[in-house]
Every structure is written in structure tokens, then in C-alpha cells.
Structure 1
Amino acid sequence: MDKPRTRGPSLEKTQETRHKILDAALQHFIQEGFARSKISDIAKHAELGKGTIYSYFETKEQLFEGVIDAFMNESFRPIKAHEIQDDESVYDFICKKIVPSVLTLESTGRADMALLILREGKNFPSILQTYCNKIFLPIQHELQQLVELAIQRQELPAHINPKSFALLIVSPMWMGMIHNHILNSNEVLQLDQLFKENLKLLFQS
């Protein structure tokens, strides 16, 4: 006699479970760091069985990658050089596209994850590579293209090195995060203001 067919979880239920896992993992990675985080503790935080998490993510490294992907889908929209309009300056375009993301950098947990990479990336090359490949390098690539365009349009001097200049554009965000969370948490810097002031100086120099 054939066994009755059992219906698997609905897509909505699957997405809800995945969201619970990623949310719990994000909070746990931020609070405990990557090295100290355990799948069993994340499962408890998510109110799920440990096996449920492993059915979605085979390793803790894959779970970390899932958290990064969630950032990309939910709270982070990387700048895209091809979206600039012909009548729009590179300076104005960068301000328009990046400042809103800077405003949510700390509230979404992206700053905490960046700091986690600074602290633990050397000991866990896989999470460092994930962060670089999915967030850091794509942003740098797009900014470098924009700097090259600004040079072509004579918005920036021809002697500028686009790769180095692209790094200078995002450097206030890294310095601001390190200042606010490590160096001097009693005197919090506004990252958006720091970013805008630096960008203005770069394009006016």
C-alpha cells in the first residue's frame, strides 16, 4: 500500500523560517563574534531546531554569507555607475546614491558586520573573502568607474589615480565606524556628514 503523500512547507513558511535564521544569526554574530557563535545557540535564538538551520545552511560560513546576501536584498543598494545621467555630475550622483546608505549603515547592523570583518577576517579567510567579493570590491569597482568618468568629463584632474581615489571616497565610513565603536564611543561622529564633507573636499581639490 502506497504511503500517503506529505506536503512540504509552503514557500511563505520557508521564507519566514529563513528570515528567522538570518535575523538570529545577524544578532548572534554581532554580539558574540564569528568565532564564538555556535549554530546551536543561533537555533535557540531563532526558536528552531539545530537541524532546521543545517537544512538551509550547511556550515557557519554559509550562514554568514546568507546574512551578507540579506543585507544586499533588504537594506543595501550598491551604487551602479551606469545609472548616472548625462546631465548629472559624478559628485551629485555619488551623494545621491551613497548618502542614504550611509545613514542606515549603523542602524541595520552593516557597521557591526564590517567591524567583525576587521576583528576576525584574518583568522577566518572565508568570511573575509565573502565580504570582499559581495560588498567591498563591487563598491570599489563602481566608484572607480565613476572616478574615471569624472576625469573624462574634467570634473577631476587627469593626474588622479582612479583606484586610490575610489578608496578615499569610502574611507570616512571606515574611519567613522572605527571611531564610534572602538576609539571613542563617547563622542559619536555622524557618518553621513563625515562622508559628505570628505567627498566635497575631494572634488574641490
Structure 2
Amino acid sequence: MTDETGDNSREASPRKPRTRGPSPEKTAQTRSCLLNAALDEFVENGFAGAQMSRITERAGIAKGTAYRYFPTKAALFEGVVAEFMAPLISGIGPPEPRADESVGDFLRRSLIPVMTTIETSRRADVARLVLAEGRNFPFIVQAYRREAYDRTIDFVRAAARIAMERGELTDDRLLRHPQLIFAPLWLAMIETGILVPDAPVSGAELLAEQIDLIFPPRR
């Protein structure tokens, strides 16, 4: 058809209505379902044996949707570590005991509550997965150290330094080996998840006992 000026033109096609993306709440829910399904798959089949198809089936989402969140299986594993370990770091807070609070009491107040849920929060599953798979997949260890392990060790080392400055510790063993605080916790995770699963050990209780040994409670 020719208009009055003689130019040829096509009739404009109607614009397609814009489609709204998923809400932030829906996005967060999808991501959470994906990460929980991924942890289930990694725990049951290991990192090498885990399959994205099974993960997405568990989560009830399309495979393409999963890849929009995490482009590779390695990225998905790193997302699992970050997701499940973040509450640990935020729950502990900075190593800043109150002026009227001993370092031992500070460690009890900061560490024991978050470690009480180490099994139910599935943080222990993540830790055991790192132990099982870390030798073959070094990036798994790197992700765990970055998101959790190194931060907790730095936290205890800083607390030990404060205790020495205050005279609450008489030697530097905890400063040199901050791993001493968490050693019973790792033992509990190994016993509960691997060695003696029918008789679970409370990591929080062992942690409390260890803190008491290093920082005897005030009488």
C-alpha cells in the first residue's frame, strides 16, 4: 500500500506486551530449592557422580533455569557452600568480647548457639562432603576455606590474642593453634555422620567442654 507521499511503508506490527520476571521472593525460593537439592545430590553421589539432571528433578525446575543461576556444577557446589555456611559466619559475629566479659564466656556466647544447629542446618553435611571430596577436587576445599574455615580460625586467633593481652591465657598455645577450639567439633561430625551414626555425638557439647578446659568457668 502507498501513502499520500508515495513512500512505501509497512503497517506497524503491534508490540508484544512485556512479561514480568519472577518476583524476588520467587527467585529466592527457586534458588533455595536448587541449593538444597544440590546438597542432597552431592551427599548421596559425591561431586563427580552428581548430575545436574537429577538435581533439577529434585528441585522441580527446568535444567535451563538451574544454569541461569549457576553455569557449571562447580559453581553450584560453591553456591551450596556459601548458602549453608553464611549463617555460621553471620551468627558468630566479630571477635569483640564486652569489657565486663571474659574471653571464655564470649566464646561460649558466640560459638555454642550456632554450633548447636550444625547437624540440623546441614552445615555438618557440607563439612563431611569437603572431607570426602576435597582431595580429588581442590576447588571444593578452597571454597570451604574461603566461606567458613579460615574465617572461624581467624576468629578464634583474634579472641586468643585478646585473652593473652588481658592475662586470661598464660601461654600462646591457642594463639599458635586456634584449631584446638574446633577439634572436638570435627570429631563429633565424623562420629555422627560416618563412624557411629546410630549414636550421634553433640558437637556443641564437646565444643563447650573444650572451651571449659581452655578457659575454666569463673566460680
TM-score w.r.t. structure 1 length?
0.91
Q: Which runs of 5+ in 1 are unaligned?
A: none
Task: Quote the Cα distance in structure 2 between the aligned partners of 1:161 and 1:83.
Answer: 17
Bigger shift: 98-107 or 65-74?
65-74
Task: Quote the Cα distance in structure 2 between the aligned partners of 1:2 and 1:171.
Answer: 67
- Residue 47 of structure 1 corresponds to 60
Report the CA distance between 1:74 and its aligned residue. 4.8
Distance 1:3 1:75, change over 3 A: farther
State whether residues 115 and 204 of structure 2, in contact with CA within 8 Å, keep that contact through their aligned partners in structure 1: yes
1:85-112 C-alpha deviation (Å, 9 max, x unpaired): 1111110011111111111001111111
Task: Quote the Cα distance in structure 1 between the aligned partners of 2:172 and 2:141.
Answer: 32
* Segments of 4+ moved more than 4 angstroms: 73-76
Report the CA distance between 1:24 and its aligned residue. 1.1
1:79 aligned to which of 89, 92, 96: 92
State whether residues 89 and 151 of structure 2, in contact with CA within 8 Å, keep that contact through their aligned partners in structure 1: no
Amino acid at match of 2:56: A
Task: Quote the Cα distance in structure 1 between the aligned partners of 2:159 and 2:135.
Answer: 30
Report the CA distance between 1:2 and its aligned residue. 5.8
Distance 1:9 1:150, change over 3 A: same
- Residue 103 of structure 2 corresponds to 90
- Residue 24 of structure 1 corresponds to 37
Is 2:182 aligned against 1:177? no
Using the aligned pairs only, state the percent identity: 38
State whether residues 112 and 207 of structure 2, in contact with CA within 8 Å, keep that contact through their aligned partners in structure 1: yes
1:140-181 C-alpha deviation (Å, 9 max, x unpaired): 0011000010011011013435030x1000000001111222
2:125 aligned to which of 86, 108, 112: 112
More helix by share: 1
TM-score w.r.t. structure 2 length?
0.86
Q: Which runs of 5+ in 2 are unaligned?
A: 1-12
1:172 aligned counterpart, secondary structure: helix
1:10-62 C-alpha deviation (Å, 9 max, x unpaired): 22222221121112112222222222111111000011111110011011111
Correspondence 1:44-193 to 2 at 5 A: 44-74=57-87, 77-160=90-173, 162-164=175-177, 166-193=178-205
Distance 1:73 1:119, change over 3 A: closer
Aligned-residue Cα RMSD (Å) equals 1.8
State whether residues 65 and 130 of structure 1, in contact with CA within 8 Å, keep that contact through their aligned partners in structure 2: yes
